[in-house]
Structures are given as C-alpha cells and as structure tokens.
C-alpha cells in the first residue's frame, strides 16, 4: 500500500515523501516586502518535507494587501529569496514559491498607498490587519483593471517568475484560491466583466490560464508550475454561485497545460481556520466530500489536498486514491520535524495561533519550536 513516507516523482523532481509544507503567510518580511534572515532559518528547519511551498509572495507591489508580506518584484527581493532557497537546499530540501497577488483583498495602508486593483470595483467585504489601526474593513477604493491593464498585470507575473527562477526556487505555485486576484476573475459573483476576461465561464478562467502560460514560459517547463484553487469557499469576501460550471472548464484547461500539480483547500478548512466548529468533518471521512471527488474526476494530473488533515486522514485519503500529496499547514508551524514525528509516531506539538504572525524581528512562535529530538534533549525553548 502507498505510504505518506514513500518517494514521489513530481515531474523531474523526486520528493522523498508525500508530506507537503503548505504555504503560510507569516508577515516576517520588511514593510517593503524584502525577505528576512529569520525566514531562511524557518524554511531550512522544515527541509525534510517532501516539498515546501512558500508563503504567498506578490509579483507587483499593488498585490501586497497585507503588511510585511514578501514580494519577488525587485532585485533586492530576489537576492534575499536566494538566501532562503540556498538554506533549504543546503539542508537537502525543495521549495516552490507561492505567487500571490491579493487584488482587492487588503488595504493600501499596507502597500505604501497604491490603489488596489481587481476584476471589479466592488470591495471585498472582509477585514484586514494594519499596523496603524489594527483590524479595519478592507479598502473600498478598488480600481477595476481595464483590459490593457489586465495584460500588464499578467506581464508582471512573468517578470516575477523570471526572478523566481533566478532566486533558485524549484518551481512556482500560482495562488488562484482564497479570494485573491485570480479568484476575483474566476468568481461568477465578483467578475461582471464583458471583455475577454469575463462574461462566460471560459472567459472567467482566462486570467488564470494566461498567467499560468506566462509562468510556464518564464520557467521553460510546465512541470515546475502548480496552481492552488479553492472552489466554493467563502473567504476574503469571495463567493461563487455556480462553482461547478467554472471549475469544470478550468480543470479541463489545466489538463491541457500539463502542470506539476493542482492543489486545493477544502471549504470547511477555512471555517476551521477561523476557529469555528466544523460538524462536517467526522472520523476519517473527509475525502468523501467536494472538492476531493470533483477535482479527482476531472483533473488528470497530480492532486495536492489541504485542509484539516491529520496523518491518519492523509494516509486514508492516499489509500483511497483521493489525492497524491498532502499539505500540512498549522502542524508545520509548530513541528519543524513533522515528517520524522509522523514517521516515528512521536507526538505532534499543537500550534499557538496567537503567535502566528509578527514583525521581522519576531522569532518567537516562529523559529523556536524544537524538533522532537531537541525536546528530548531538554533543548525546547518555546517562549510564552
């Protein structure tokens, strides 16, 4: 029987196991989005993952909706990311960059005052953290991109992809989930356009597909490019009336692109991330529900699942061929050696979400979670 700890061939990359460190925004970059040294330490600590997917990283500054999240749009950022990828590779790991343009999600307070852009002028009805005012409603000053401007944004993804390769990453995951810019084009609620990027399901998928083509062009190989989707989630002010119609078309088109993988996050997991009860997740039955079946049936390639997984759930999903690779998010925050802990049946340290985010000098709650072996040697040094 296939095991989480078996090797997996992802295109030309050999992953030593099927345990993936999921993309997680931690707000540890400088205010201008330059990665910091503590980020290199953090990712290198987690190098035994089959694959690391970096936190969401913006291709152009307007896409920095949150404070202190990194970019890959300048030479300084590229160079700083190089120290991260070098640190991961030195420990024998592999790392993809997650490319995240937040679109209308966020506030211009967080990106140096640039007007935020979207498929629409409608604001995202959600809240955002700012250093200046704490939690505030997301911006209501959203610019609807003209058709020409959409092409310029797509070009910015291309430029960022060139830098991503130069920075030594092993590939790119396009973030087309969670209500960010590509999702603002995919959604039949957010996208009311009547140009080449809206009007029909196919046209709503056009932005995502064109960006992916640009990433492939920049990389020279489709097998180093993945995409994350989250059909039917309610998050960051996004909603979809008929996700089946949109994602049937999108998955058909993704098949043609011959990507490294499609990753998804279950709708339920976003509720659980928000700390609410999740009555639908019952012992080991997670894989019976949308979108596991929906994506597996339509998509021919590698599928990465995420959302409230445990070792047991992931192993069961693998045994039933519901997905190929399995993301662990929060468990990776608090267990740098998650693979070893699961392989040996060692206890998994619960995460302290109160310390999930923080400024560039904040290693507490970030780099101070010990490995199991360090814990046993009395070297645990978590600060309260």
Ligand X SMILES: Cc1cc2nc3c(=O)[nH]c(=O)nc-3n(C[C@H](O)[C@H](O)[C@H](O)COP(=O)(O)O)c2cc1C
Of 43, 157, 180, 372, the catalytic one is 180
Residue 100 tokens, joined: 């995240």
Of these, 269, 311, 349, 371, which contacts ligand X (CB under 6 A)?
Answer: 269
Q: How far is the CB of 357 from ligand X (least distance, A)?
A: 7
Question: Both ends of the chain: CA-CA distance in Å?
Answer: 42
Helices (H) and strands (E) in the chain, counts: 12, 14
According to DSSP, residue 223 is labeled G
Cα distance between residue 163 and residue 147, in whole Å: 25
- Position with the least CB separation from ligand X: 329
180 is catalytic: yes
Answer whether 98's CB lies under 8 Å from 63's CB: no
The alpha carbon of residue 331 and the mean position of all alpha carbons in its chain are separated, in whole angstroms, by: 15
Cα distance between residue 143 and residue 131, in whole Å: 23
Of these, 327, 338, 339, 342, which contacts ligand X (CB under 6 A)?
Answer: 327
Provide the b/e sequence for 355-381 (b: ≥16 CB within 10 Å): bebbebebbebbeebbbbeebeeeeee
Binding status of residue 315 toward ligand X by CB under 6 A: no
Binding segment for ligand X (CB under 6 A), chosen from 134-142, 173-181, 195-203, 234-242, is 173-181
Q: How far is the CB of 24 from ligand X (least distance, A)?
A: 4
Binding status of residue 309 toward ligand X by CB under 6 A: yes
Of these, 23, 33, 231, 267, which contacts ligand X (CB under 6 A)?
Answer: 23
Binding segment for ligand X (CB under 6 A), chosen from 39-47, 247-255, 280-288, 300-308, is 300-308
Alpha helices, DSSP H, located in 223-367 = 243-257, 267-273, 292-298, 311-319, 330-334, 338-344
Nearer of residues 69 and 87 to ligand X, judged by Cβ: 69
Q: How far is the CB of 188 from ligand X (least distance, A)?
A: 21
Binding site for ligand X (CB under 6 A): 22-25, 55-56, 98, 100, 175, 177-178, 228, 265, 269, 273, 306-309, 327-331, 356
């Amino acid at each position: 029987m296939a095991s989480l700890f078996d090797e997996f061939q992802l295109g030309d990359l050999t992953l030593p196991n099927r345990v993936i460190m999921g993309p997680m925004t931690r707000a540890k970059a400088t205010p201008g989005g330059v990665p910091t040294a503590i980020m290199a330490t953090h990712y290198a600590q987690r190098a035994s993952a089959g694959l690391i997917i970096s936190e969401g990283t913006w291709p152009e500054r307007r896409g920095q909706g949150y404070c202190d999240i990194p970019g890959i749009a300048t030479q300084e950022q590229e160079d700083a990311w190089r120290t991260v990828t070098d640190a991961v590779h030195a420990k024998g790991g592999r790392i993809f960059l997650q490319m995240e343009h937040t679109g209308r999600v966020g506030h211009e307070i967080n990106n140096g005052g640039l007007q935020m852009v979207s498929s629409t002028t409608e604001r995202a009805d959600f809240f955002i953290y700012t250093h200046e005012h704490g939690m505030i409603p997301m911006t209501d000053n959203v610019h609807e991109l003209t058709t020409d401007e959409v092409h310029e944004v797509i070009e910015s993804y291309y430029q960022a992809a060139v830098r991503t390769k130069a920075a030594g990453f092993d590939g790119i995951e396009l973030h087309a989930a969670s209500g960010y810019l590509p999702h603002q084009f995919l959604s039949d609620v957010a996208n009311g356009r009547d140009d080449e990027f809206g009007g029909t399901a196919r046209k709503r998928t056009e932005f995502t597909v064109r960006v992916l083509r640009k990433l492939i062009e920049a990389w020279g190989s489709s097998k180093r490019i993945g995409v994350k989707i989250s059909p039917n989630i309610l998050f960051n002010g996004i909603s979809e009336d008929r996700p089946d119609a949109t994602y049937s078309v999108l998955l058909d088109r993704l098949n043609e692109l011959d990507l490294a993988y499609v990753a998804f996050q279950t709708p339920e997991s976003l509720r659980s991330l928000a700390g609410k009860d999740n009555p639908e997740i019952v012992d080991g039955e997670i894989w019976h529900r949308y979108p596991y079946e929906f994506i597996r049936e339509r998509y021919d390639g590698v599928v990465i699942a995420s959302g409230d997984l445990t070792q047991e759930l992931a192993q069961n999903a693998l045994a039933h061929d519901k997905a190929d690779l399995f993301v662990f998010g929060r468990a990776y925050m608090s267990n740098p050696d998650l693979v070893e802990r699961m392989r040996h049946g060692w206890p998994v340290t619960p995460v302290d979400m109160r310390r999930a985010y923080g400024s560039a000098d904040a290693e507490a709650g970030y780099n101070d979670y010990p490995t199991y072996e360090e814990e046993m040697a009395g070297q645990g040094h978590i600060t309260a």
